[in-house]
Amino acid sequence: MREIKNIMIAGAGTMGSSMGETFAKYGYDVVLYDIFPQALEKAKNLIALNQQTEVSEGIVTQEESDKLLSRIQYSSDVNCFSNADFVVEAILEKLDIKHKFWEEVSSIVPEDAVLCSNTSGLSITKIAEVVKNPERFAGMHWINPPHIIPLIEVIKGEKTTEENAKVVYDLAIKVEKKPVIVKDAPGFVLNRIQFAIMRECLHIAEQGIASTEGIDDVMKYGLGLRYACLGPFQVADLGGLDIFHNISSYLFADLCNADDSFGLLKECFDNNHYGVKNGAGFYDYSEGKDEEAIKYRDMMFTKLSKCLYDK
């Protein structure tokens, strides 16, 4: 296994730029790659915005931030991967596009480079079908925003070796993340839970039980605080499994079991309202509200992270 020094991130969107920022923070040389120069420019601005928050919150000094930024390069030349020790791909969540990327890039990188996809739920085994030497390929699913959220899901495909999965796991530890080894199942773990919650929240809004703002408040001031400290099995043990069993006996039957997008989510999608990325979603993000939302999210996540995880 080669020593990991040079890390290449494919895809300069929200996830890719934040991952690159994280690796650079811990001393790795990073190249952020994207076929669109405007995406690279946007990534520079997003990283700068993130760094402003970290400096203002005392996470890093201005000098440390400047050094971090100097470790990140930007490129639209696919040959930049020829010097990679470790690659994380964070491009569009479509299997054919990922196949096209990996078919080309896995032949450019060194034979012993470790390769990962940040896919949120596509099969690692299926993506690996076009990868040269697929035993070195794994999933490395970061959670938005990657530079703050500790969790990383490490997904083993059918051909991923234990040795290469351990490299991914150990690298996550080195950048002070909390990795979890996960089986290659649709949605892995986090998104299976997240979308079960989203489906029920949409159902609650659709039924008029509460407004979208009210549902968000229930999560923020109730479940969010609870689950920031304890997992669902721990919560159940502390609450009493007899109580949880009794509630489940009548409540499960009333919960949503829709198997397709519906309600407000489908309505927003059909109207091209994609959230912060284009100015409208469940909430309004026009006239600078998008940057305000990102700054607020990162400030609050950072404060919570410092309370829970600082040594």
**Confidence band for 97, pLDDT divided at 50, 70 and 90:** very high
Q: How far apart are CA 185 and CA 129, in angstroms?
A: 16
Helices marked H in the chain? 14-25, 37-56, 62-70, 95-105, 124-127, 162-174, 190-206, 212-218, 224-229, 232-239, 241-251, 263-270, 289-309
Single pTM value for the model:
0.90
Number of residues that this document lists for the chain: 311
Helices marked H in 149-261? 162-174, 190-206, 212-218, 224-229, 232-239, 241-251
Q: How far apart are CA 211 and CA 201, in angstroms?
A: 10
Q: Mean pLDDT, the chain, as a whole number?
A: 95
- Tell me where in the chain the CATH 1.10.1040.10 domain(s) lie: 190-309
**Quick one: CATH architecture of 190-309?**
Orthogonal Bundle (1.10)
Residues 148, 186, 262, 146: what is their CA dihedral angle, to the nearest 10 degrees?
10
Residue 275 CB partners (closer than 8 Å, separation 6+): 268, 281, 282, 285
**Confidence band for 1, pLDDT divided at 50, 70 and 90:** low
Q: What are the two backbone dihedrals, phi and then psi, of residue 127, each rounded to the nearest 5 degrees?
A: -60, -40
Instruction: Tell me the per-residue pLDDT of 247-269, one tens digit each, with 9 for 90 and over.
Output: 999 999 999 999 999 999 999 99
Q: Under a CB-based contact definition with an 8 Å cutoff, are residues 205 and 178 in contact?
A: no
Strand partners, 179: 152
Instruction: Tell me the per-residue pLDDT of 197-247, one tens digit each, with 9 for 90 and over.
Output: 999 999 999 999 999 999 999 999 999 999 999 999 999 999 999 999 999
Q: Which fold has domain 6-183?
A: Rossmann fold (3.40.50)
Q: How far apart are CA 21 and CA 153, in angstroms?
A: 18
- Tell me where in the chain the CATH 3.40.50.720 domain(s) lie: 6-183
- What would the mean pLDDT of 111-121 be, rounded to a whole number? 96
Q: Under a CB-based contact definition with an 8 Å cutoff, are residues 141 and 89 in contact?
A: no
